[in-house]
Structure 1
């Protein structure tokens, strides 16, 4: 997918568009921050790991800030930094921070893992939205983009905790779209299927061998850059065009639990 041509985009203003990208220390968040900088956006990339953010800043020239989206104080610091960097206006908040923990069935649920997933995927997104929505409103051309998952739309065995968290984030986006109707703010949801990144399955499963096995025999699972391409298209489309919900999967995946696997791959 390619971004809209220059002829299809709104006439450029004197200043570049601005974005905050959460979860930018790795995977889709990192790829998205880099892609938006390449598209000409001014980007503030946030995550918890300062050393990874420093490497991203050196590579792309984006601004960075260490932020924990589960902390009110940390997100307040983010709002202050947006005020300082962008004059209190902001065009886009790109919610990528999240993730899955464990694959236990609901009958054996580890409630600390469930709480961790809800804190990051749902409450973290709410907290950042609440803090930055005033700046998005002031921009006159705003976007709230939520990277959810097919797991928020399709249940699968061993996914109940992540299913519940991502379904919650999906409903947050859906409610915001109704609540902000009539304002110049798009609410966009991108729901990827199987994406192979360096950390998602490793963090979820806690073992590199198990993480690698998730992708065994799968021809061309999505990459972080594939997802960043879709996010870039959604954010750069003419502002009257809203991609309410986009599901993006590798060709090998027909559903969250249905993946074609071939020996020797």
Structure 2
């Protein structure tokens, strides 16, 4: 009798152990599967930050976001001037650059010329437009080498500079064409270094967002680099003063959709810089 009871108890314990093991494995498996799915979801989300599905294209990105109506090419120049030479530098620029702008034999226009007020100090910024693209640029450069006044200006300018750089730009299709305007105004040049491969995405968002920033005619022009530092975007804005800049920018946040543009475009940026600039006397943008 006692043996039967012990045998029955032993069988029950074995069955209980079996059930515990089976249930434990089931729980472990379900948890492992859930954890695996969770990790897979995290991996997919993480990879999505870096891996983008790109539709096959048979055209350059610049052709998709640049203006089709014109063949304009832009050049932006950044000149870092010796502090003691800034006054003399501005004078020779005002003596020579407007004559090139006004000469019909040169297929180019001086869009604007400024001194940086806030940002990198003792800096001059010049923006040129070449009507006819690269052939116009080549023609202008060739003619300037034969221009004695310009070559003298260039030699004298070289003695006043610490460094200089330039970029060739195209204009975004959805921005205004920069045209002369009366002053007084201050100008803000906001420059963005984008992550490679994100220019189309940037353009898609800003094509909608620019509508939120045109109420006070503050949008002057938008450009992206073709030669020089690549994946660079420059937005040029005009304001009456620093307070109107503050008021205008704050008003944009009250418009539905502006916050979404900022939310989606900030992750595309590697570096950004803001310059507040004052027009030189010879600048068509005053």
Do these two structures clear the TM 0.5 threshold for a shared fold by scoring above it?
A: no
TM-score category (smaller protein): under 0.3
Normalised by the length of structure 2, the TM-score is: 0.25
| Structure index of larger Rg | 2
Normalised by the length of structure 1, the TM-score is: 0.26
Greater strand share, structure number: 2
